[in-house]
Structure 1
Amino acid sequence: MTSMVLKGGRVIDPTAGRDGPLDVLVVDDRIAGIAADLGDTVPAGAQVVDCRGKLVLPGLIDTHGHIYQGVTGRFGLNADMCGVHSGVTTVIDQGGPSCITLPGFRQYVVEPSHTRVLAYLSAYLVGGLEGHYYPDLYRPECLDVAATVKSARQNRDLVRGLKAHAEIGGFARWGVQVMRTASRIGREAELPVYIHFGQLWPKPDEGGLPVSPDSIFNQVVEMLKPGDILAHPFSRHPGGFVEENGRIHPMVPEAIARGLKIDVGHGSHFSYKTARIVLDAGVVPDTLGADMHGYNTSVPAPSGTPDSHPDEEDHMFKGKTRFSLVSAMTSMLALGLPLDHVVAMVTRNAARMAGLEGEIGTLKVGGVADVSVLNDDRGRWRLSDNEGTQVFTDRLLTPGFCLRAGRRFEADAPILPVTQEA
């Protein structure tokens, strides 16, 4: 038996309603006690870890990962690099595996990873190959409702939803048919559908069907059911939450009223300007995913993969981008979101999105010992997005370490950002 006490940190657990200095006792892979004074319940010889001045949180959940390493080419990152070595205990892959490639995802990513890995299954037969670099693989004929529904139903432990795309490039090529089919898959599988709003292949000026970017959002919302997720509300690309005139899309409040959820999906097209418009309109996202992948993160490219990608070409700091789920939390704080909501975005709300509320994303006696410990520093730092917009923050969160089922992992991933002091 091994035991550890996380001593004196600020424990924030939205599910349990906790927020204050507490000790957390971990025995083997379980939480064995949570109290201001654990007293005689601490086993003799327990390791004591001083967490004073730090945040002790339920294991963080990244709702938007791309971790089908190898199979998705340059796009897929290592699960543990994005996960436990970045202070994150659970990563949900968004659209990497498909009904065809899910068995390989389970065998070669899920099973060997120390990070808990879940998936939102791609609606497309080919999944997230090379970040959708080859658009003809994503036409309407490349979806199979029956096969995808079968795969989702028979892999319920792993598949927690479906991933689809509503972007100008896709609408210009095929109209709404792909989205209608993806929505049907979600209904038949009885799973939430996660909708990517973006501006990949082809860009609007490259021809195809005439598409008004401002018409995409309302067309997509009409197809969706309560519990489905709209991603990238803070994207700088047109066709999403903010119209070309710079105002919030009038359908956004209606979407929320219909029970649709919103995931930040930070990524490389995150915009502080767009975020300000959305937040000032009273729209607050439910969850926060990092959306890191091989084209927006400084990792070596596998041999033979494309030299560039539309997502990479768009951002200013090509090949030098560094961010993580925890740095995305700092961005949310810099935008004025309160800490308790930011923590809920990556714990309770994310667990709800995975259909695992009460099982993960919370600290409870007898529950699995998934814990993230973050440094909570004060000072003044400069944050930048890929439009070049800068904001300043007096609070910086960085990952210290995490426990995944009681095992300690240091936050030493090479992709973690180095924040610039102002």
Structure 2
Amino acid sequence: MEGRPYDLLLKGGRVVDPAQRLDRMLDIAIKDGRIAALEAGLAPELASEVINTEDKLIAPGLIDTHAHIFEHVTGSFGLNPDSCGVRAGVSTLVDQGGPSLMTLPAFRHYVAEPAASRVLCFLSAYLVGGLEGHHYPQLYSPEDVDVKRTIEIGLANRDLVKGIKAHAEVGGKSRWGMEVIKQARDIARGIGVPLYIHLGQLWPEAGKGIDDPDTVIEELVPLMQEGDILAHPFTRHPGGFISCKTGELHPIIREGLDRGLRVDVGHGSHFSFEMAQKVIEAGILPTTLGADMHGYNTDAGQVKATNRESNPFFGKTRFCLTHAMTELLALGMPLTDVVATVTSNAAGMLGIDDEIGSLAVGKTADIAVLERETGRFTLSDNSGMTVTATEAIRPVFSLREGVRYDVDSPVVVEPMDLAS
């Protein structure tokens, strides 16, 4: 109806907004795609449309900090952005290393601009970007990096480019040492964005390999600076947070975190409950929670890659961003901390917390409407380990700049399918 102060009113939900330290029952009013009011007892007649959100959990729009959505260009690796985004209850997606200086124009035109979801990227340090899920190691050598030109492209596209992506793992180190990581660091510094580093084996080792996978993290951390991001802290592969020699948290991780490094879950096929328990019990909590869904580990209804089984990223367990939230709850993280990983912390990492990541009045009306279900849910990882959870997060619908999108994506894991 015309003449109403608000376009939409979400009535009676439990608002969890870590940025404002809020966890209570409130109404949310939206006008022209922005948060217009956040308070209890707003009159329904003030809005043109009212949605009853009683018994729902209301959070700022979810942000997936590790997506692979360069559809078609990266082959079967790249998923449809809205299938992973608004149709899965997620407002913002960050493609990790799909586009490169050579393919960023295509990413902008064919992925970011048409998507209903907000789409950003961490630009690949490599000329080829994420073609076929980094399946061919010969394409990722120091000779396949152009530091100067990647800086130029990143600076010219700062609206999309929020960081630089590279890989530190035993296969690459056996071939090139840490030279590519140094190049990626120089690119990130030249653009003024964070460096995001993949941990955990990606390629087979070359030649004689390396004797000690721990040397990857030992040589990597000194190259990084405050604000840079270590991904896959819970990886089941060697060369990560857990020392292969001691089976415990590598001491250099604490040193890096003390210097301001951040931690992104980067769930994917890397996620291990055993490793996660060790890391969390050591007092290390993730800063952000990237789902790391792609065509080799998630059934999103597209044609599967012929090399899927041979790819080290291949996984046999279904997951999505809200399912990854459920797993963090099962590992003992408080709800507010879990919500922060996909809202305020993520927006801060991207440098856009002035616009999203909170439900404060004036912010963009990106909102997640969720259900917190209770029961007994069996969760499993790709190593075959299972844990029983007593609560699960289910996405109901999302708002992107005030526009509603119902959850109907095939990537979403329904808690009822996990009930035990």
Separation (CA, whole Å) in 2 of partners of 1:249 and 1:75: 31
Separation (CA, whole Å) in 2 of partners of 1:372 and 1:209: 46
Q: How does 1:7-406 map to 2 (within 5 A)?
A: 7-39=11-43, 42-43=46-47, 46-202=48-204, 204=205, 207-244=207-244, 245-300=246-301, 302=303, 306-313=307-314, 315=315, 317=316, 321-406=317-402
Separation (CA, whole Å) in 2 of partners of 1:305 and 1:121: 26
Separation (CA, whole Å) in 1 of partners of 2:419 and 2:43: 41
Structure-2-length-normalised TM-score: 0.95
| Counterpart residue identity of residue 30, structure 2 | V
- CA shift, 1:229, in A, is 0.2
Separation (CA, whole Å) in 2 of partners of 1:303 and 1:214: 34
- CA shift, 1:209, in A, is 4.2
Separation (CA, whole Å) in 2 of partners of 1:359 and 1:262: 22
Contact conserved, 1:324 with 1:416, CA < 8 A, in 2? yes
- CA shift, 1:307, in A, is 4.9
Question: How much is the aligned-residue C-alpha RMSD, in angstroms?
Answer: 1.6
Separation (CA, whole Å) in 2 of partners of 1:223 and 1:26: 44
Contact conserved, 2:201 with 2:237, CA < 8 A, in 1? yes
Q: Against the structure 1 CA distance between its residues 236 and 209, is the aligned structure 2 distance closer, same or farther, given a 3 Å change threshold?
A: closer
| Counterpart residue identity of residue 120, structure 1 | F
- CA shift, 1:144, in A, is 0.4
- CA shift, 1:208, in A, is 4.2
| Counterpart residue identity of residue 222, structure 1 | P
| Counterpart residue identity of residue 229, structure 1 | I
Gaps of 5+ in 1: none
- CA shift, 1:73, in A, is 0.4
Contact conserved, 1:296 with 1:311, CA < 8 A, in 2? no
Contact conserved, 1:173 with 1:208, CA < 8 A, in 2? no
Among 397, 409, 419, the residue aligned to 1:413: 409
- CA shift, 1:218, in A, is 1.5
Separation (CA, whole Å) in 1 of partners of 2:347 and 2:313: 30
Contact conserved, 1:30 with 1:406, CA < 8 A, in 2? yes
**Could you tell me the percent identity over the aligned residues?**
51
Separation (CA, whole Å) in 2 of partners of 1:406 and 1:309: 43
- CA shift, 1:310, in A, is 1.9
Gaps of 5+ in 2: none
* Partner-residue secondary structure (3-state), 1:311: coil
Separation (CA, whole Å) in 2 of partners of 1:309 and 1:29: 45
Structure-1-length-normalised TM-score: 0.95
- CA shift, 1:300, in A, is 4.7
Separation (CA, whole Å) in 1 of partners of 2:300 and 2:332: 31
| Residues 391-412 of structure 1: CA deviation (Å, up to 9, x unaligned) | 1111110100001111110111
Q: Against the structure 1 CA distance between its residues 49 and 238, is the aligned structure 2 distance closer, same or farther, given a 3 Å change threshold?
A: same
User: How many pairs are equivalent?
Assistant: 413
Separation (CA, whole Å) in 2 of partners of 1:31 and 1:5: 10
Contact conserved, 1:66 with 1:77, CA < 8 A, in 2? yes
| Counterpart residue identity of residue 390, structure 1 | T
Separation (CA, whole Å) in 2 of partners of 1:104 and 1:73: 14
| Counterpart residue identity of residue 366, structure 1 | G
- CA shift, 1:71, in A, is 0.4
Contact conserved, 2:228 with 2:261, CA < 8 A, in 1? yes
| Counterpart residue identity of residue 207, structure 1 | G
Separation (CA, whole Å) in 1 of partners of 2:163 and 2:140: 19
| Counterpart residue identity of residue 33, structure 1 | A
Contact conserved, 1:69 with 1:77, CA < 8 A, in 2? yes
* Partner-residue secondary structure (3-state), 1:310: coil
Separation (CA, whole Å) in 1 of partners of 2:208 and 2:73: 30
- CA shift, 1:40, in A, is 7.7
Contact conserved, 2:236 with 2:275, CA < 8 A, in 1? yes
Identify which range, 184-193 or 230-239, moves more after superposition.
184-193
Contact conserved, 1:229 with 1:261, CA < 8 A, in 2? yes
Separation (CA, whole Å) in 2 of partners of 1:105 and 1:348: 26
Identify which range, 292-301 or 100-109, moves more after superposition.
292-301
Q: Against the structure 1 CA distance between its residues 404 and 358, is the aligned structure 2 distance closer, same or farther, given a 3 Å change threshold?
A: same
- CA shift, 1:109, in A, is 0.2
Contact conserved, 1:12 with 1:343, CA < 8 A, in 2? yes
| Counterpart residue identity of residue 72, structure 2 | G
Separation (CA, whole Å) in 1 of partners of 2:137 and 2:28: 49
Q: Against the structure 1 CA distance between its residues 120 and 211, is the aligned structure 2 distance closer, same or farther, given a 3 Å change threshold?
A: farther
Question: After TM superposition, which residue ranges in structure 1, 4 or more long, deviate above 6 angstroms?
Answer: none
